[in-house]
Amino acid sequence: MSDPTVPKKTLDCVGLYCPQPLFQTREQLDSIEVGEVLEVLADDPAAEEDLKRFAKRTGHELILVEKHGDMLRFLIRRVK
């Protein structure tokens, strides 16, 4: 059985600032199937709060938020 947290796609938003990471995340989630995971990489400090709020508001599952220095890594499962 495959790991359910392995991303189907990776979205590189490094160098992009609000609201681009949010807009691109929404677009990419729409392009994957329900149950699949999107990995988002960003360095915009606002991305953490924006993507947490987005996942909660839309019902998608925020599996992981990792910080490595200025870099942020998110794993978001498409729920609907």
Measure Cα distances from 55 to 1, 2, 61, 69 in Å: 26, 24, 6, 23
Candidate list 18, 62, 65, 75, residue with the active-site label:
18
**18 has catalytic annotation:** yes
Query: Could you tell me the two tokens for 70?
Result: 């200025």
- Cα–Cα distances (Å) from 45 to 28, 41, 60, 75, 80, in that order, read 20, 12, 21, 17, 27
Active-site residues, by number, are: 18
